[in-house]
Amino acid sequence: MKSLFKLSVLVAALGVTTLGVMPAAQAAAAAEPPTVVFVHGAFADGSAWDEIIPSLHARGLEVVSVQNPLSSLADDVAATRRALDAGTGPVVLVGHSWGGVVITEVGNHPRVQSLVYVASFAPSVGQSINDLAKDYPKPSGFDHLIVDREGFVTMSLEGISQHFAQDVPAAKHRLMTATQGPIRGAAFDEKVSVAAWATKPSWFIVAEQDRMVQPALQLDNAKRISATTIRVPAGHVPQLSKPKEVTQAILDAAQFGQK
């Protein structure tokens, strides 16, 4: 009897029940809803996700919007990794435009359960944005870039209003122009060393009226990485112009592994 008592105490201490062998802490972690971590692109900042974040909060999901320095791929990856390291539960990692390159590089982090690309790039190992784009026509938005003496690139108000966010209410155009993050132009030639989509399930929102990333390039990227593809009649920032569709794709990705 004493040996049986000792065994029951040991079982209780390990958090094991007679119905299974999963420790209680692991069971709790498995049921923990994922955090959504957003990675913005060039010519933007963390407020790029403002139309989506409240809806995710209303559904009980935690959200982190990374503020990328946009000074290099390594710097943006480091900023995103800090956000991933700060928590403990599963993550849906979402990248817009240039942010797709960042999540491709850092998305192999053990917390990341799924990836969502929004009007984005999904390079293979050894590829840069310029490598991906070289075989497609130049998008019209690239005629409205401004390069400073240090090689950082911004967009003009005309570029924002007519090519970057042409389907966003006009009242937001000046605000988006004022708050955009300049990106170091050399970043477009930086190549990824990891392709997280090769091991993580991916969703890809294709913006069919995009004037910054060719829709054909987006479709080809989505097909190549075997992503669940959602096509929306939107410009380059569907998270602002079509927030319901983007939110639903994120919720679908959040359910992966939770059913």
In this predicted model, what pLDDT tens digit does every residue of 130-184 receive, in sequence order?
999 999 999 999 999 999 999 999 999 999 999 999 999 999 999 999 999 999 9
Quote the number of domains for the chain: 1
Any domain includes 127: yes
Any domain includes 183: yes
> In Å, what is the CA distance from 37 to each residue of 69, 108, 135, 210, 249?
16, 14, 31, 23, 14
Any domain includes 17: no
Element (H, E) at 184: strand 183-184
Any domain includes 53: yes
Domain extent for 208: 33-255
What percent of the chain is predicted at pLDDT more than 70?
87
Any domain includes 4: no
Any domain includes 2: no
Any domain includes 221: yes
How far apart CA 252 and CA 255 sit, in angstroms, is 5
Predicted pLDDT of residue 32: 81
Average pLDDT for residues 6-24, to the nearest whole number?
40
Predicted pLDDT of residue 20: 40
In this predicted model, what pLDDT tens digit does every residue of 73-117 receive, in sequence order?
999 999 999 999 999 999 999 999 999 999 999 999 999 999 999
How far apart CA 165 and CA 144 sit, in angstroms, is 13
Total-model pTM:
0.88
